[in-house]
Amino acid sequence: TPYFFTTRGGSHIEGFSPELALVTHGGGKELEEPLVVRPTSETIVNHMFSQWIQSYRDLPLLVNQWANVHRWEMRTRPFVRTLEFLWQEGHTAHATKEEAQEEAMKMIGVYAEFAENVAGMPVVVGRKSRVERFAGADDTYTIEAMMGDGRALQAGTSHDLGQNFARAFDTTFLAASGESAHVWQTSWGVSTRMVGGIIMTHGDDKGLRLPPRMAPIQVVVVPIYKGDDEREAVEAYARDITDRLKGAGSIFHDAPLRVELDDREALRPGFKFNHWELRGVPIRIEVGPKDLEKGACVVARRDQGKEGKQFGVMVDDSLPGIVAERLQEVQDSLLAAAREFRDGNIVDVSTYDELKEVVEAGKWARGPWAGSDEEEKQIKDETGATLRCFPFDADNSSAKSCFYSGRDDAEIAIF
């Protein structure tokens, strides 16, 4: 984006300035004006909104895009923190403050629903502090997830931008009353960080464990035989099971089952088992000569290891329904296990010493907070803990005085 856009972004650009990458030369020549490799799209989107929006009839304006952005990160981590990442980025403009606030809250709800019910990743939904909110926003809403190592991941955000960018870019509209007014705006997004979150929430020592609702392959069928004399019949049986499952219709969350037949030659069953476990396929169906004789199969759940095997499952019209039930059990089990782990690692605190002990133990601290921005920064400097959010579902009536400042106007926060 043109560098002069950054002079119009106010606190937004101040917040992003350490992460900006500038292009000063192109085609062997110095550019008349540097370009900024886009860190986010608020400035360029608002440049266009100011041209597209003329009247209240143009509102609300809702724009969604998939885009790569670039931030000059000094310490990178795969998926979670990278120099360049792909994300889904929404921008909206509204006639009233209330409409914009409703949109921002709606989208954080969409992200929370996806995280929990599709990705199987329990999240704390809440409001960011002034220190941690998006640069240029009036309020930032977030979904915070706990990874398998106890670390927090900001998995998605939605921002109530107020009229900050509208005033900077003079994005106005003619209201029904005939008066000119600035629009009210939101922006929101999730990125490939969500992929890292899913891996770190559900993965184990064998590899991925993918929630069935988002697994590219939900079921893999593995034929087992000892020689060529058994191979043809067993593989035909395995193909019949595969076709039966694929042809069962939309039986799992209104979609057909995604099934793969692993009939690769010269590979032992153990190798195939490991191959698919590593990739997180939720259900494995094993069939051998004895299963063929009985008209049955073995159904194994990825999330339970050896204990997750069900022997003697009949291969008839009931099989697709049984597989769909097992998939839902895996989906529910992964979410429940992640939620139990998270809840077991959030500790209520009432003093700063307690917070330091909890953070030192690698857990989250939850307690009453009414500190200033500088006091919040001081806690981060001293302990490394950041204020993740003020949870929406917290019982603030139970909040007494702030554990750090002693002020009475406290609300529950998570560090």
pLDDT tens digit sequence for 297-332: 999 999 998 888 999 999 999 999 999 999 999 999
CA dist 252 and 113 (Å) reads 18
Q: From residue 335, how far is each of 212, 258, 328 by CA, in Å?
A: 11, 21, 11
CA 116 to chain CA centroid, Å, is: 9
| Ranges 62-66, 84-88, 104-108, 125-129: which has the least confidence | 84-88
Q: Is the separation of the CB atoms in 83 and 72 below 8 Å?
A: yes
Q: For the chain, count helices (H), then strands (E).
A: 11, 19
Q: Is the separation of the CB atoms in 183 and 170 below 8 Å?
A: no
Can you tell me whether residue 127 is helix, strand or coil? strand
Tokens representing residue 209 in the block: 């464990």
Residue 11: is its pLDDT beyond 70? no
Convert the pLDDT of each residue in 166-194 to its tens digit.
999 999 999 999 999 999 999 999 999 99
Pairing of strands 259-261, 219-223: parallel
Pairing of strands 364-369, 61-70: unpaired
Q: How many alpha carbons lie under 13 Å from residue 15 in its C-beta half-sphere?
A: 15
- Find the helix packing angle between 352-360 and 373-383, rounded to 10°: 40
Convert the pLDDT of each residue in 198-230 to its tens digit.
999 999 999 999 999 999 999 999 999 998 899
Of 86, 95, 51, 71, the closest CA to residue 186 belongs to 95
Tokens representing residue 35 in the block: 């370009």
Tokens representing residue 16 in the block: 């992003």
- Find the helix packing angle between 228-246 and 319-344, rounded to 10°: 80
CA 74 to chain CA centroid, Å, is: 23
Amino acid at 220: V
- The 8-class DSSP code of residue 266 comes to T
More confident residue, 16 or 26: 26
Q: Is the separation of the CB atoms in 281 and 215 below 8 Å?
A: yes
Tokens representing residue 165 in the block: 């960018």
Which pLDDT score is estimated for 162?
Answer: 97
CA dist 1 and 303 (Å) reads 46
Tokens representing residue 372 in the block: 């200033």
Q: Taking the model in full, what pTM does it have?
A: 0.92
| Helix, strand and coil percent figures for the chain, each rounded to 5 | 40, 30, 35
Which pLDDT score is estimated for 13?
Answer: 55
Residue 14: is its pLDDT beyond 70? no
Contact partners, residue 247, CB within 8 Å, separation at least 6: none
